[in-house]
Structure formats: C-alpha cells, structure tokens
A and B are shown apart, each in its own frame.
Chain A
C-alpha cells in the first residue's frame, strides 16, 4: 500500500513508513501548483533538508536551473493526461548546496488530486549496479578458477593413466598366459573406469562452471536415435535383449539440441538400459509429442526397477542406488551428467520406475523448425519399415549425376537406411555436419571439389571425422585409387556398380566401424 495515500487529502503531510530507513527512494505528492504536499522521510535523510522547511514549497525551488523547464513540462503532462506515466531525470539541491542526480517516475492520482513522484538517487543506483557487477565478476572468476583447476587436474591424471591403460593393452597384445592375462585385464578395466570418471567429472565441472555451453541447432531426432541405437545394439544382443523401436511420432521431427551432447546422453541411457536389464528382457525406445511443442524421447527397460526412495536419489552424484553391490560397472555420474547436459540444452530429463517392472527415462526437448534444405538436397526415410541390410543407418550420397543419384538413393532406402543426398561437395559437406550420417558415398568427380579435398575436409572436421567414406569413380587409375585410400576412404567402388555389391560394401564398412 502506498503510504502517501493514507493521509487525508489537503493537509501537507510528512510520512514515515517502517521501511523508510531501508529505502533510498524519495517519494512526494505534488499539487497542481507544483508544491510539495506530501513527503517521505527519505527527503531528510538523502537531501538533508528539514521536512517542515520543504512542505508547501515549490518542487522547482530545489531543482537545478537547467532542469526546471523539463520538470515543469513533465508535471504538466501528468496533470493534464491524468493517466500517463511520466519519467525524467532532474538534479535536486541538498542542504549543502550540492546537486544530487535523481531519476524520477510519477503519475497523477485522482484519489488525492496530486502527482505522485518517486525519485531514485542515480549515483546510488550506479554504485549498487557496480557492486552487483563486481560480485558477479568475483563469482565468475571463482567458478572459472574451479573449472580451470578441474581441467588442469584432469590433465595431470590423464598422463599416468596413459601408461596404465597403454601398457596393459600392450601386455594383452603380447599374448599372455591365461593367469597373467586375467591380471592385465583387471588393470586395464580399472584404468578405463578411472578415465570414465575423470571425463565425467570434468564435464560436470564444465557445466557447473559455465565453461561448457551447448550449441543448440535443429537436430533430426530419428536419425540421431537410430545412429545411437546402432551403436548400442551389439551390447543389447550380447545380453539377449529385445530392442523395440517406435519412432512414428518423431518422423521428420527436429528438436533444438546440441547433437554431440544429445547423442552422449542417449548412448548413456541406452547403455544403462542394457546394463541394468534382466537377461532376455526388453528395451523400448519411443517418442511422443508433449505439451507446448516439445518432444518426449522415452527409453524403457525391464530391469529390477527402483523403489520411490531410491528413485528420488536417481540424479545424486556417486549414488549408484544399490548397483555398487553388483558386478555391474558404473561411475555413478552418468545420469547426473546426462541431466545437466539436457538442462543445458533447455530440456528436461526425468525418470519413473516400478519395482519388478522396470525404469523409464524421459527426455523432453523443444521442437524446432526443420532447417531448410538446399534445393538439391533431399532426405528420404527408409523403405519397408526400416528392415534390411542397412537398417538403423543413414547414408549420405554426394553425387552430381541425377541418374546415379536416384539409383543410389533407391538402393539405400531399399536396404532399410535413411538416405540424404547432395549434388556438390559444399552442400554435401554441410549436410554431413548437420546430419552426421553413418556413412558417406562420395562421387570423386564433383563440380566443386576433388575427391581427396573432400575426404580431407571430412576427416579434419570434428563432427564428420569418424564417418566412413566410400569413393565412387568411373575412371579410377590404380594411383588415384591408392591416393584416395591414403587420404582415408574405407572402400572404392568403380562405376558402373552392381547394386547388391555396393550395399554389401556399405554394410561391411559399417560393421568395421568402431
């Protein structure tokens, strides 16, 4: 409640509220003659004038001569409009004759017929702002220092770990006696566990210290999910798990996400669904559209499930919810990191569980508009419900000849993969970065780039470096072929090609991929 309004109209009043001494705001009621009719005690404290001296005096008596015209016209504006909010800056003279810069806001009130003004000391405000700024800077520095420390520490820990992991791998390559092999394997396992811990801790500290930022962009969900699934499937098969996929709702849907981080999270959740499942159980990966244009990605397992009490500690660092008493390996940080990463992208990660039934993780992300494709770029979903030799994969075809392009696309979608196409090197490279396909079929005679240039560009980019490239050429000499292999292609197919042989070559390249 405005303290100025409580007094009966007409009599000049000085008011004090219990908060006056905390406030640095000057409040006043000004009548139509420009006189101060009501005042808060802050006038006395900030300007040093005695209150009774001020009452009934014209406000402009205190105003700096240069500001008088402005103040009068603003007051008139408030009085005449009856409703407009006014705002201005004006300097007021204090009891020592010095001027205090103040920022004013005000409005006419029909309750008492006065214009009510509230003035803030600008110097005070600037001082507060700079205090806040300094405090923020200090906090920033502290958190950067902490994350710098973590990054330094991670470096120091990695160097000896290089020896632990490297030498035990070398020992195992030597072909040891079974007993020694067992021992070396334990060393290697422990080394890798430590490395995973260090990586996850460093990531968490980067998120908390604000040095990790998510670069979000529209990401085609199904492509990313299928790629992640292809990596997790061998693990699942090893434990005799049935993987069911229902991605109908997310067909052609894009979400705002950082593709590398999102893949990291999905792989982590899938790997959990494999590790904590019962043998012969099931994993269901599905999508559904959520409220307020979001997409929910669900990963459900048929593991032992968790009690509510344990579920509540799902995202607590190092709490492995009982799994520490099993032989299942884990750091107790994966879910914590996953949750922070998803939040960094503006999404949510939550979990539900039922004892004896299983656990479901849900990622909720904002739906994004599909990025516009260049006129020559296309993306085609797999035929035959994604069954076939290349099922679960995506293949980028970069080829300028339209007939060959159509033929290759049909082969790829017919074998159960998603196909994307580009007609020149530039857009092929962009599409590879944007979609991160499982494999690239590359015509080595593109209008803009030669084969080796293209292969080099792909292998030097962090988003595309791991993607195997198969070169297609009509006139390959032995030397040209060798040169392309030297630059890192995984296979070379001569045109005209046999469809079945090409699909087989793609399939083999994907199987070799680690």
Chain B
C-alpha cells in the first residue's frame, strides 16, 4: 500500500534480544535489517541508510554511544531517528545517550507495546500498521 515499507535497523549483539526485537517489530509493517555489532551497522548504513535505528548500548567492540556519534557525523544518517536500548536505567546514562545524539531511549526489559509505540511515534501513526 504505502509507497515504501519503512526500513528498521536493529543493532544488538545478543542474538536472543535481536530476535525478540525482530519478532516484535514484524508485528508492524516494516522491513528489518540486523547488525550484530556497531561496525557492521555503520557499513550497512553507508550503503543504504534505514529509516529508524534501534541501537544497543552495551556491545563488545564499539559501544552504542560510539556508534551513535559516528552515525551522527555521517550525512546519510545525520537525521535518522535513533532509539538507544539499554539495561541501565539511571538518568545520567539516559542523558549520556541523548547527548550523543539519540532521539529516544528504551530500558530493557521492554514490552512489545512500548517498542511499537516508539516506532509509531518516530515513523508517524499512519505509516505503520499497529498490532490488532
């Protein structure tokens, strides 16, 4: 129906969490690209930037914060919405994420509803078919 299905990138090193994200977001009408680490994510973004990025904070190699800064310094992803995922929940960490250029923040564990709500908020209510 819509001219282009929005593309969502998941950057998360934990396989189980990445699967959970994918299965949840597939409840909406989106195309999903997965990256198990920050370096892969940056490569994929430079080839074909997604519409939204869900980015894990704590990853081996580049941390989510570093990836976030790198994405913000590239023209292609300067304005791409980024949602940080983190198991930490203190305000200072949250602010650190926002300061690095993230648009939003989800604390793990998250409920599918929260995730979909954020996605709807970022892509616009009409773009995404929500779950029944």
Q: Which residues of B contact A462 (CB under 8 A)?
A: 91, 94
Q: Mark B109-127, 1 if CB is under 8 A from A, else 0.
A: 1111000000001001110
How many residues from A make CB contacts under 8 Å with B? 25
Contact of B109 with A488 in the complex, beta carbons under 8 Å: no
Contact of B125 with A162 in the complex, beta carbons under 8 Å: no
Decide if A167 is an interface residue (CB 8 Å cutoff): yes
Interface contacts (Cβ under 8 Å), in number, total: 61
Question: Which one, A150-158, A220-228, A285-293, A468-476, is touching chain B?
Answer: A150-158
Alpha-carbon distance A29/B99, docked complex (angstroms)? 66
Decide if A166 is an interface residue (CB 8 Å cutoff): yes
Contact of A488 with B121 in the complex, beta carbons under 8 Å: yes
Q: Mark A142-167, 1 if CB is under 8 A from B, else 0.
A: 00000000010011001111111111
Q: Which residues of A contact B16 (CB under 8 A)?
A: 160, 162-163
Contact of B14 with A169 in the complex, beta carbons under 8 Å: no
Contacts of A170-198 to chain B: CB distance below 8 A:
170, 173, 191, 195
Alpha-carbon distance A101/B131, docked complex (angstroms)? 80
Decide if A69 is an interface residue (CB 8 Å cutoff): no
Contact of A460 with B20 in the complex, beta carbons under 8 Å: no
Q: Closest residue to A462 on the B side, CB-wise?
A: B91
A159-B17, A173-B27, A485-B125 known; A166+B112 contact, CB < 8 A: yes
Alpha-carbon distance A164/B17, docked complex (angstroms)? 10
Q: Which residues of A contact B98 (CB under 8 A)?
A: 460
Alpha-carbon distance A151/B98, docked complex (angstroms)? 21
A195-B109, A462-B94 known; A170+B125 contact, CB < 8 A: no
Decide if A482 is an interface residue (CB 8 Å cutoff): yes
Contact of B88 with A173 in the complex, beta carbons under 8 Å: no
A155-B58, A173-B131, A195-B109 known; A162+B88 contact, CB < 8 A: no
Contact of B111 with A159 in the complex, beta carbons under 8 Å: no
- Which of A151, A162, A191, A486 is B108 in contact with, Cβ under 8 Å? A162
- Which of B88, B111, B121, B124 is A169 in contact with, Cβ under 8 Å? B111
Contact of B23 with A162 in the complex, beta carbons under 8 Å: no
A480 → B minimal CB distance (Å)? 14
Interface centre among B87, B89, B91, B126 (most CB of A within 10 A): B87
A483 → B minimal CB distance (Å)? 9
Contact of B20 with A159 in the complex, beta carbons under 8 Å: no
Decide if B63 is an interface residue (CB 8 Å cutoff): no
Q: Which residues of B contact A164 (CB under 8 A)?
A: 109
Contact of A159 with B14 in the complex, beta carbons under 8 Å: yes
Q: Which residues of A contact B108 (CB under 8 A)?
A: 158-159, 161-162
Contacts of B80-99 to chain A: CB distance below 8 A:
87-89, 91, 94, 98
Alpha-carbon distance A170/B16, docked complex (angstroms)? 13
- Which of B24, B58, B94, B126 is A170 in contact with, Cβ under 8 Å? B24
Alpha-carbon distance A488/B122, docked complex (angstroms)? 9
Alpha-carbon distance A462/B111, docked complex (angstroms)? 19
Contact of B109 with A165 in the complex, beta carbons under 8 Å: yes
A158 → B minimal CB distance (Å)? 4
Contact of A154 with B87 in the complex, beta carbons under 8 Å: yes
Contact of A163 with B20 in the complex, beta carbons under 8 Å: yes
Q: Which residues of B contact A173 (CB under 8 A)?
A: 27, 112, 131
- Which of B20, B87, B124 is A166 in contact with, Cβ under 8 Å? B20
Alpha-carbon distance A432/B98, docked complex (angstroms)? 20
Alpha-carbon distance A199/B90, docked complex (angstroms)? 11
Alpha-carbon distance A160/B20, docked complex (angstroms)? 11
Contact of B14 with A170 in the complex, beta carbons under 8 Å: no
5 additional A-B pairs beyond A164-B109, A167-B20, beta carbons within 8 Å, are: A154-B87, A158-B108, A159-B17, A162-B17, A162-B109
23 interchain pairs, CB-CB under 8 A: A154-B87, A158-B87, A159-B14, A159-B87, A162-B87, A162-B108, A163-B17, A164-B109, A166-B20, A166-B24, A166-B111, A167-B23, A170-B23, A170-B112, A173-B112, A173-B131, A199-B89, A460-B98, A462-B91, A482-B126, A485-B124, A485-B125, A486-B124
